[in-house]
Structure 1
Amino acid sequence: MQGLVVAGITEIINQLNDSTMATVDIPIKEGEDQRLNCILKKTESPSFKLVFAPNTLPRDTIEYGTSCRLVVKHKDSSVNLNVRLDEADGDRALIFTALESISPESLREYFRVMISVPVRASYHPGPREKKNVPWELTGHTIDLSGGGVLAVFSGKPANNNRIQLEIDLPGQSAPVVCIAGVVRTYRLRKNRFQVAFTIIEIEGKARDIIISCCLQEQRRQLRDKVRVE
């Protein structure tokens, strides 16, 4: 975070300029997060307000109480923050609470790309979990990052914690395996379910494979876009 003194999250918010430009990924109840430009207005740190252009906010579909990513302009650089969307403030503003700063080293885990690949979600109860039963669902991803997965399945996960994901990535002889937790679930048409996962446990090599796949897919999509244009 060039230009900012290394400090706690409250101090970081205090050091930002008031009325500075920012970009935030607004959590949406059904579908992809919506990336919007806005103006940061300082209130009482670590809380702050983001003000948007008229008729920009999808007010009826915003998912409150959910964390998201915020990028704030600061001098000649940018500050990346993990923030929580708390509530609306009129028609053009939202109230947030800053949770933590995202270091450049960990920022790559938040890089996300739209990609559809096979994924299997399963749960295997431990010896003390006598009331829980094992289950498995198959589906496909909608988007992917080093820190999370958005996927569609033919059923709803029976529980939200300690779920094993097996992701079949292009060019890999074996699936990437990780342990994840459910962030949110939405029922779609034809009894399908869209499920957002956050990755809880994953080996470093496996995460690197996911990130490498995301970067390759982004380059492929950019090449295809150039050809079309």
Structure 2
Amino acid sequence: MKNIKKFYPLIVGLVLLISVAAYGTRAYFSDSTKEDAGIELKLGHVEIESFSTPWTINEKGTNNKVGKTVIDGKTYINKAKPGDSFSKTFTFTNKSSLKTKFKMTQNITTIDKKTSTAFDVSLKLAKGKYNNIEYPEVKITNPSYSSTIKNPENPKETIHEILLEGKEQGNFVLTVSVKDQGEVNDYNRAPESADAFVLDLLNEMIEVELIDADGSIAE
């Protein structure tokens, strides 16, 4: 019995050694791994740039020159006569990184009946290719652009907007003409008289709105 007691420390040490070895073996067989998310998100944007040319004067004849004054970007014309016309081009450029829907409203062509007897006002979408679709020149006859344009691929269908790729442009040409008709005296009035024919488009405007092709509105 005494001999066995001599081996107690050795037996305890051996048990501890086996336990440590077993625990170490268990730790040795653990494993782990990881994966990066692997994505960076950057939002696209919607942006529009506008530009317009100065008014171009197309006079009928050379004996009576019209008077033109520009003050703070506003053009004032006097001594206009039958047959004269004046034109200006508005260019709206889609600078977005997203494909967008191009919508326009205007109050330029809705002049009063009295004034319309002396002047013709025409606003047209210039012929061009938009989003790889060829559009003919289209006269804008309604304050809402979206209710005016016909689908070139299906003329019976009204298009509510034109899709524009990034960097594409929408060009609109505004032309104001003094009517050249036989009864010129119908609107032959002194400029200072109360019933003089004056076409005032100084504060009338074209407004364009870009909406990304999936529907978010950009002011």
TM-score, with structure 1 as normaliser: 0.21
Q: Which has the bigger relative contact order, CA under 8 A and spacing at least 6?
A: 2
Q: Which of the two has greater strand per residue? A: 1
**Structure whose CA Rg is larger:** 2
